[in-house]
Structure 1
Amino acid sequence: MNQGLVNHTGIPGSSEGHMAVTQVPMVTLWKQADGVLIYPTILVLFLSILGVTTNILNILVFTRMGLQETTTSSMLALAVSDLICCIMAFWTYLCYVPAFRDIPGLPFQSIEVAQETGQNFRPYVIRTGALITAFITLERCLCVVIPLKVKKVITLTVTRVTIVIIYIITIVPYIAHPFQYKLDWKFYPSLNRTIVGSVVKEDPIAFFFLVFNAYLCGFSYLLLASGVVLVCTLFLVITLVRSSRWRESVRKQTQLSIEKSVNLKASGSKREDRLIKMVVVIAIMFIVCTTPGTIVMFIVSVSQEYIEGERFLPSTLLLQACLFTFETVNNSLNFFVYYMIGTRFRVVFRQLVGLKEDTTSS
């Protein structure tokens, strides 16, 4: 954000877009809203610490599992993007905590620095995670639709190239941001000091690219990812239901003498179902946690009264904290999904931390 002012479509730090709209100092607004925001701030800090821990564990486990499977490579890439998001969330809200923000002699304006070094970069990485989630669900759908050909269509090379492309198209556009805003020494009359803060360069070309990226690229990426995840998730849920019904009918119709052979045939199906179930849970969590931000982005974009009305700004900060909470939940909890559903993940994790092998795993 520029000069510590509220901007970026009125939803500072949400995962969707940037546009200067008002001239109310962020510091003033945050101090006015401290009483309301203290609990969401604590929650975001807790979730972000949890997310940093769990995503580091995800990265270690997936690396130890080996990256010769396409799904493992994709989930490792997702863990990396989630880790970055959680680090950015922690740093941003740490700078918003009054005890940190008001440290005497702090050489920088913490809220403005948080905007430029964490909050403004985070939306780009959120789009990365969204597109990777869409790719994972799409791959799992192809495994169901064309099980004999999917390994030829989605190869390990294709997966890695796709992940690199996703990171490039979502994060590289951020390079326009430093051309519009930068950190520099500023004089603050209220402090009677010169400290590091956010300064606007007023580069019209850079501003155009920021708006273009926010509304066209950023919004379209989220809509595309959400649409793919929603459609693929519905398809996978239907597949799980059908698979469950099939196994139930087999149990009822098969004689005991041939039950072993049927179980051998079904064992691969059960493993596939566990993987599908894992992807479905991750996808549902993604939909639930990112939909509010997408809806709010749309409402704010079309509501001129909301954009221009300064009386809405304190509530905007509370809304920002709520969106941060939803997004950080999505970035933090995948580990528990992997551990509860993924047998191989659970075994490798227990080996990694020196726990006894889980004899209940099947």
Structure 2
Amino acid sequence: MPPGATEWLAVSDLCSLLTMIWLSICVNPLFYQSVLPFDPRDILYLTGATPHILFAKIASLITAFITFERCLCIALPLRVKTIITPARTKVIVISIYIGMSVLMIPFYLGNRLEWVFDLTLNATVLKTTYTAEREMLEAIMFLTQGVFATAFSFIFVICCTIVLVVKLNSKTKWRQATACKSDRAVEGVGVKDQKVVKMVTFIAIIFIVCALPPTLLFFYMVIDPSFRIAGIYRNLYLVIWSSSYLTETVNSSVNIFVYLKMSSKYRAVFMKTFLNKEEK
């Protein structure tokens, strides 16, 4: 993997999981009814659900970048180190974080947290308020974050995976044709490349399957402004998005196990970092 890319992917996955845990705990009535004097679900929409979406989309773009790097490793093995350098990797990954964060600004311009006096409680409480341009600003965010970013990642990952498989098959056939005819010489030809392709393809399939439901929901929210947490279909919204969040949580959770199982370098670094021992 490109230097630092998997680490940044792990950070975004971890942040996605933490925001989802925070959201899952706080939307439980047993928590907010016993701890807080008001219903915080709209507030948690801004402090939990939206950051979760941000980190999930960042993870999707980093996944696309990792797939691209592996594609170059197979297609241009002699030039990949000059194309994907550690410095360029850092710039690209940091740009993804900054760019996706900037795309969240329209949403927070339309949805704000303000202290409002509540007549029923006779107290000033923190609530979500909305601007007149809320629907337009939300539509911009849903299109850029939920549809375009993920759609770009989908297409990019699929194209890179196809190129990866085609190039690997072509390279394996060439190696077998030029290798010595002895079984020992042919055995193991392209085995390492095949393991890489298998791992990247597996991760790409997990990403596409898990990210498709929220992408379709975002697209529907663009064309139906009433489908919001504060809209007329509030309960349906919560049920559908709960299921969608589950698929994104799975995507953020399983990557580490895939790398541990299928990447010897990742497993060695993990063992040394967290268990303080070298892998045999």
Question: What's the TM-score, normalizing by structure 2?
Answer: 0.83
- 2:156 counterpart residue number: 228
Instruction: Kindly provide the CA deviation profile for residues 65-95 of structure 1, in whole angstroms up to 9, marking residues without a partner as x.
Output: xxxxx52411111111111111111111111
What amino acid maps onto 1:343 in structure 2? S
> The residue matched to 2:129 in structure 1 has which SS?
strand
The counterpart of 1:291, out of the listed 199, 202, 212, is 212
The counterpart of 2:20, out of the listed 79, 84, 89, is 89
What amino acid maps onto 2:235 in structure 1? P
CA contact 1:121–1:174 (8 Å) conserved in 2: no
- 2:9 counterpart residue number: 78
CA contact 2:20–2:249 (8 Å) conserved in 1: yes
CA contact 1:240–1:277 (8 Å) conserved in 2: no
Q: What does 1:1-362 align with in structure 2 at a 5 Å threshold?
A: 71-103=2-34, 106-107=36-37, 109-188=39-118, 191=121, 193-200=123-130, 202=131, 204=133, 208-216=136-144, 218-239=146-167, 254-255=181-182, 259=184, 266=189, 269-302=190-223, 312-354=233-275, 359=280
Instruction: Kindly provide the CA deviation profile for residues 86-109 of structure 1, in whole angstroms up to 9, marking residues without a partner as x.
Output: 1111111111112102115x1553
Deviation at 1:348, TM superposition (A): 3.0
Deviation at 1:285, TM superposition (A): 0.7
1: CA distance, partners of 2:84 / 2:168: 22
Tell me the percent identity.
30
Q: Which runs of 5+ in 1 are unaligned?
A: 1-69
Instruction: Kindly provide the CA deviation profile for residues 119-174 of structure 1, in whole angstroms up to 9, marking residues without a partner as x.
Output: 12222222211111111111111221111112222222221111121112111232
Deviation at 1:243, TM superposition (A): 6.8
2: CA distance, partners of 1:108 / 1:240: 58
What amino acid maps onto 1:339 in structure 2? L
1: CA distance, partners of 2:45 / 2:226: 24
Instruction: Kindly provide the CA deviation profile for residues 171-192 of structure 1, in whole angstroms up to 9, marking residues without a partner as x.
Output: 1232344433322333445555
Q: Which runs of 5+ in 2 are unaligned?
A: none
What amino acid maps onto 2:89 in structure 1? T
Q: Residues 237 and 292 of structure 1: is their aligned pair in 2 closer, same or farther, counting only changes over 3 Å?
A: farther
What amino acid maps onto 1:142 in structure 2? L
Instruction: Kindly provide the CA deviation profile for residues 323-356 of structure 1, in whole angstroms up to 9, marking residues without a partner as x.
Output: 0000010011111101111112223333344487
CA contact 1:222–1:294 (8 Å) conserved in 2: yes
2: CA distance, partners of 1:134 / 1:328: 18
What amino acid maps onto 2:126 in structure 1? V
Most deviating of 161-170 and 318-327: 161-170
Structure with the greater relative contact order (CA < 8 A, sep ≥ 6): 1 or 2?
1
> The residue matched to 1:71 in structure 2 has which SS?
coil
2: CA distance, partners of 1:345 / 1:289: 23
Number of residue-to-residue matches in the alignment: 278
2: CA distance, partners of 1:174 / 1:194: 28
Most deviating of 329-338 and 290-299: 290-299
> The residue matched to 2:34 in structure 1 has which SS?
coil
2: CA distance, partners of 1:108 / 1:140: 50
Question: What's the TM-score, normalizing by structure 1?
Answer: 0.66
What amino acid maps onto 1:292 in structure 2? P
